[in-house]
Structure 1
Amino acid sequence: MEIKLAIDRYDRHFPFFDGSLSHPFDFEIRPFQVGQSAILQHGTDRHELFLDGQFDVAEFSMSSFLAAKTRGYPIVGIPVFPRRLFSTSQMWVRQDSDMTEPAHLVGKNVALSAFQTTLSLLAKGDLEFHYKVPWRS
C-alpha cells in the first residue's frame, strides 16, 4: 500500500524526502513537495489538490483545517505540531515604538504574515490568555 503525502520541504519534513524515515507499518509513504502559495517541485495549491482527492494525506495549518471543516469538507485532522515556538518570541515592534508591553496592543492595528498560519492563531490566543489583550480588539 502507498500513501501519497502532500507537504512542503521544511527542515522538520526532511526525513520524508531523504529516505531516513522508518516506521513499523506495512505501507510506503510517498512524499510530494507541494506548496500552498509558492509553486514547488510538485505544484501549488496543496489544500485544493488534497480536497480534490489527489493526495491521501496533506499538511494543513490549524486555521486552514478549521476553515475547511467549517465549509463542510469531510476531512479528519490529526493534531501533529512538529514545529513548536512560543508565539511571543515571534512578535516585534519598531525600535522607536512606545510599545513596551503586550497591553499596549489593545485597539492597535497588528500585521500578520497570513491568517492561515497556525502561529498567528496561537498568538491571538496567547495574547488574550496571558496578557488580557482581546483578540478582537
Structure 2
Amino acid sequence: MVIDLTLACGEYDLTYALHTGLVQPSGIDLNVLTYESPERHWRMMRHGEFDICEMSLGSYLASRKHPDLYPFTAITVFPHRRFRHSYMFKHSGISSTNPGDLEGKKIGLRTWQTTAGIWMRGIAQEQYGLDLTSVEWYTDDTEDVQLTIPDKFNVQRISEDRNIEEMLVSGDLDGAFYPARLSSVKHKKGAEHIFEDPFLEEQRYYEETNHFPLMHTVVIRDTLLEKYPWIATNIYKAFSEARDICLQKLEDPRWTALAWAQEHLDHQQKVLGTNPWPYGLVPSNQRTLDKLLDYAYDQGLTPKKYSPEDLFAKSTLDPEIEGKEYVSGK
C-alpha cells in the first residue's frame, strides 16, 4: 500500500533529496511543495493545508495550548538550525557592543513567537543581562498563533505603512532581533551588527553552551498518525537519509559554488563535529530543546514548560529509531 501525501518544506541542501525524489519514504508517495517560511508556517497554522509540514518551533510550541485548533504533532526532525548573534542589529548611531546595552531601548521583531526571536531574547537576557521587561518591543507582522503576551512585556505592532528595517535605519528603533539578513546592514546604510564580529561571538557561544539553536521541526496531521502510525518513523527516516546524502556531498568541493568550500567545511567540522544536524532526541538535541523550552515559557509563549513527551510522536522519541537489524547473521 502506498499513500499520497503533501509535504511543505524548504528547499535546502539538507532536504534536496526529498525535493528531487531521490529519497522517498517507504509506503508514501510525496508531493513536495516549496514555500518561503513565513507563508508555509502561516498556511499550516491558519488553514492546515498540508499533510506534513516543516514548521517554526516557536509557533508549534505556542499552538500546543490548543491542540484541537492545531491538530498535528511533531517528529524529532530539525531541518533548520541557525546561530543568531549575526541577526542582532542596531541603528548605526547606537554605541552598544552587545545586546545588554539595549536596556530600556526600542527593539524590532518580526513577531513575538518567531523562533529566532525567542532565541535572541533568551540569549540577550541570559548571556548579556538584558532585562526583557525594560525594552519596548515592536513587531511588523501578525502572530500565526494568537497569543496573550504577559503584561510585563511591552509589545506593540507597528503601523502597516512602516517596517522594522526602515524604522531601524531612521533611528525610530535602536535595535532589531530579526530572522533574516537586512540589506541595510549588509550595505552599511544606517544599520549594523550589534557585535563587532558576530561569527566569532557565535563560536564562543557554542564553545560555552554547546547549543546550535533549533529553529524548525516537522509536523504531521494527527488524523494521519492515528490511521497510519508508521508514518512518523518513515518520514523521520526519509529526512535522515536526505541529510546523510547532503553531508556526503558536502565533502566534494565541486558540489558547491563557494570558492573556499572545503576550508569552510573543515572549520565547521572542527568546531561543530562531522554531523551538527542530528535528528532524534540525542543528548545534544535534548539539551538545546530544553533551553528553548525554558525561553518559551519564560517569555509567555507556553502555559508551562513542556516536556518532549508533550510535543513529539512517541516513536520518534525512541533512542533506537535510527534502525534495528540483525546483530549476528543475516
8 Å Cα contact 1:34-1:45 kept in structure 2: no
8 Å Cα contact 1:102-1:133 kept in structure 2: yes
1:58 aligns to what? Answer: 53
User: What is the CA deviation profile of residues 33-58 of structure 1, one whole-angstrom value per residue up to 9, with x for unaligned ones?
Assistant: 355655x9xxx7232232xxx42211
User: What is the CA deviation profile of residues 7-59 of structure 1, one whole-angstrom value per residue up to 9, with x for unaligned ones?
Assistant: 34456543332223355x23222212355655x9xxx7232232xxx422112
Gaps of 5+ in 1: none
SS state at 2:108 partner: coil
Equivalent positions of 1:60-99 (< 5 A) are 60-72=55-67, 73-99=70-96
SS state at 1:97 partner: coil
Equivalent positions of 1:5-84 (< 5 A) are 5-9=7-11, 12-23=14-25, 25-34=26-35, 38=39, 45-50=43-48, 54-72=49-67, 73-84=70-81
8 Å Cα contact 1:35-1:45 kept in structure 2: no
| Deviation of the 1:111 alpha carbon | 0.5
Greater Cα radius of gyration, structure 1 or 2 = 2
| Deviation of the 1:95 alpha carbon | 2.6
8 Å Cα contact 2:100-2:125 kept in structure 1: no
User: What is the CA deviation profile of residues 106-134 of structure 1, one whole-angstrom value per residue up to 9, with x for unaligned ones?
Assistant: 22111113334211111111112211223
Distance across 2 between alignment mates of 1:88 and 1:102: 9
Q: TM-score, normalised by structure 2?
A: 0.34
2:109 aligns to what? Answer: 112
Gaps of 5+ in 2: 135-330
Amino acid at match of 1:32: L
Q: Say which structure, 1 or 2, has more relative contact order (CA 8 Å, 6+ apart).
A: 2
Distance across 1 between alignment mates of 2:36 and 2:95: 38
Distance across 1 between alignment mates of 2:91 and 2:36: 31
User: What is the CA deviation profile of residues 81-108 of structure 1, one whole-angstrom value per residue up to 9, with x for unaligned ones?
Assistant: 3222211111111233121222112221
Amino acid at match of 2:55: F
Distance across 1 between alignment mates of 2:46 and 2:86: 31
Distance across 2 between alignment mates of 1:7 and 1:111: 27
8 Å Cα contact 1:47-1:58 kept in structure 2: no
> Which structure has greater strand proportion?
2
Would the alpha carbon gap of residues 28 and 88 (structure 1) be closer, same or farther in structure 2, given more than 3 Å must change? same
Q: TM-score, normalised by structure 1?
A: 0.73
8 Å Cα contact 1:115-1:121 kept in structure 2: yes
